A and B are shown apart, each in its own frame.
Chain A
Amino acid sequence: MIDIENVSMKFNLGMEKNYSLKQAFINFLKFKKQKKNYFYALDNINLNVKKGEVVGFVGSNGAGKSTLLKVVAGVMKPTTGKVIISGNICPMIELGAGFDMELTARENVFLNGAVLGYTKEFIEKKFDEIVEFSELNEFLDVPLKNFSSGMIARLAFSVATLVEPEILIVDEILSVGDMSFQKKSGDKMRKMINDGTTVLFVSHSLTQIESLCTRVVWLEHGKIQLVGDPKTVCQKYKESQERK
């Protein structure tokens, strides 16, 4: 389903500096060569995910979890290596990407739906379902800027999980909304998993990972530290975190 082969992602830390012409010019006058300061966010990652698997990713901040998901989602092109994917992807790397705060909830459903690649007919057909799931029917014609962040997250989650994607990429979003919505979104996720959706899942909550995943990948400094069944990997990861 997903084949990640020798994927490396190299960032140039010096890039920030050459933002403006002025800086470039100053550097030029000072004969200052830009320091080649590379940083590997991902270092030679190999991973094979089969259909129906739920793979969790753990690791400390900056370990490369989100970068890996972005590479799989096609947002970033890896510096070397390649990713082969069969099936349609629903990336939920951040909810509500493409929401416009000036527009109303109704307008945003269509805009966000279009961003996610749905057709107009599809959204119109499923519109009531979205409204019902998000429980926001009173606020449909209110501009999004007047929404609370929890309400925005609800709307976004409802739109994003509308289709039954073959591959779902989730980056720390199950913690949205109030308790009842958390349960609702968790149930929806579980239903998708039971229906055979392949899921890549990043979370810092080990309980969530252990309860949802069939396999866990532990990333550290852009490298795979350990792959295996949830219990053992989570246990080892927990130990290493406690030692710090």
Chain B
Amino acid sequence: MKFIKSIYFNIKKYSFLLKQLVSRDFKVKYKRSALGILWSVLYPVLMMLVMGFVFSNFFKASMPGVSYLAYLLIGLVLFNYFSDATNQSMSSIVSNFSLINKMYIPKYIFPLSKCLFATLNFMITLIPLYLIIFITGTGINFYHLLLPYVILCLFMFSLGVSFLLSAIAVFLRDMYYIYGIIILMWTYLTPIMYNFAIIPEKLQTIFKINPMYQFVNFAREIILYGRMPSTISFVACFVAGTVMLIFGSFVFKKVQDKFIYYI
């Protein structure tokens, strides 16, 4: 109880700083571009179109019963969100060293602000996603109300990974390269571009351990198939999110006092 109270007070105390950090990222990102914030919509749309075109025309990828484009985009949007959030958070401690070295600011603010920034960007990419959902005739249904649940779980998961990565990156700069490879492997191990059914049955259970599969699958069940995700799906998303967040914060808290000697 006391712990939760202190978290609440800290969030209240530093909410303005968080807002400022997020809005700084936003301003800096679009400062020099002619189209500005429009890129947030345009970029994912163009990227999705390229990928959709390549996969459905060259690889003849298709999904029985549903639109392949919508199938691909749901996976892409969710996975890009995770990859953006974690990649940006990873360098957040190191790149904000000039601040950490001179002021007392709770250090978790930096990965947290990057994750919030990525979430904001993700929200914007939902616009083109819904556009595609309508264009492909996938349609909308009552279960869409459950999407915030999976987004929240994915946010917790991303934040947990971010805490872990940003702490490791302080001690081991090689992490930038290592994580680049990991995320590439992760993209292919998650059924984003291909049908989950092509995986040999023996391996399917192992693939299901991947939390990213659980999040993507949950969203697809709702958007593509218009049905209630299974109870296991609900539990898996929640457990993946909370366990990762707790583990990440625990590690971060444990090593944060040592950051200053290594940056």
Residue of A nearest to B260 (CB): A76
A22 lies within 8 A of B99 (CB): no
**Cβ of A110 under 8 Å from chain B:** yes
| In the complex, chain A residues whose CB is within 8 Å of the CB of B174 | 20-22
Q: How far is the CA of A114 from the CA of B16 in the complex (A)?
A: 6
Least CB distance from B238 to A in Å reads 33
| In the complex, chain A residues whose CB is within 8 Å of the CB of B100 | 75
Least CB distance from B258 to A in Å reads 9
- How many residues of A sit at the interface, in one of the four size bands? 20 to 34
Residue of B nearest to A18 (CB): B171
Chain A contacts with B in 99-122, Cβ cutoff 8 A: 100, 102-103, 107, 110-111, 114-120
**Cβ of A12 under 8 Å from chain B:** yes
Residue of A nearest to B98 (CB): A97
Q: Which of B20, B104, B173 is A19 in contact with, Cβ under 8 Å?
A: B173
Least CB distance from B195 to A in Å reads 37
A115 lies within 8 A of B105 (CB): yes
B27 lies within 8 A of A98 (CB): no
Q: How far is the CA of A98 from the CA of B96 in the complex (A)?
A: 8
- How many residues of B sit at the interface, in one of the four size bands? 20 to 34
**Cβ of A142 under 8 Å from chain B:** no
Given contacts A12-B261, A107-B27, A120-B16, contact A94 B102 (CB under 8 A): yes
Query: Hey, what's the 0/1 contact readout for A61-103 against B, CB within 8 Å counting as 1?
Result: 0000000001001111100000000000001011001101011
Secondary structure of the B contact surface, majority rule: helix
B16 lies within 8 A of A115 (CB): no
A111 lies within 8 A of B103 (CB): no
Query: Hey, what's the 0/1 contact readout for B13-25 against A, CB within 8 Å counting as 1?
Result: 1001101110010
Residue of A nearest to B96 (CB): A98
Q: How far is the CA of A15 from the CA of B171 in the complex (A)?
A: 10
Query: Hey, what's the 0/1 contact readout for B169-181 against A, CB within 8 Å counting as 1?
Result: 0001110000000
Chain B contacts with A in 183-206, Cβ cutoff 8 A: none
Q: Which of A21, A75, A100 is B172 in contact with, Cβ under 8 Å?
A: A21
| In the complex, chain B residues whose CB is within 8 Å of the CB of A73 | 103-104
**Cβ of B227 under 8 Å from chain A:** no
| In the complex, chain A residues whose CB is within 8 Å of the CB of B261 | 11-12, 15
A119 lies within 8 A of B16 (CB): yes
Least CB distance from A243 to B in Å reads 34
A100 lies within 8 A of B28 (CB): yes
What are 25 pairs between A and B in contact, CB < 8 Å? A15-B261, A15-B262, A21-B174, A22-B174, A73-B103, A75-B100, A75-B101, A91-B102, A91-B104, A97-B98, A97-B103, A98-B98, A98-B99, A100-B28, A102-B31, A107-B24, A110-B20, A111-B21, A114-B17, A114-B19, A114-B20, A115-B17, A115-B20, A115-B103, A117-B13
| Residues of B participating in the A interface, judged by any CB pair closer than 8 Å | 13, 16-17, 19-21, 24, 27-28, 31, 98-105, 172-174, 257, 260-262
| Residues of A participating in the B interface, judged by any CB pair closer than 8 Å | 11-12, 15, 19-22, 70, 73-77, 91, 93-94, 97-98, 100, 102-103, 107, 110-111, 114-120
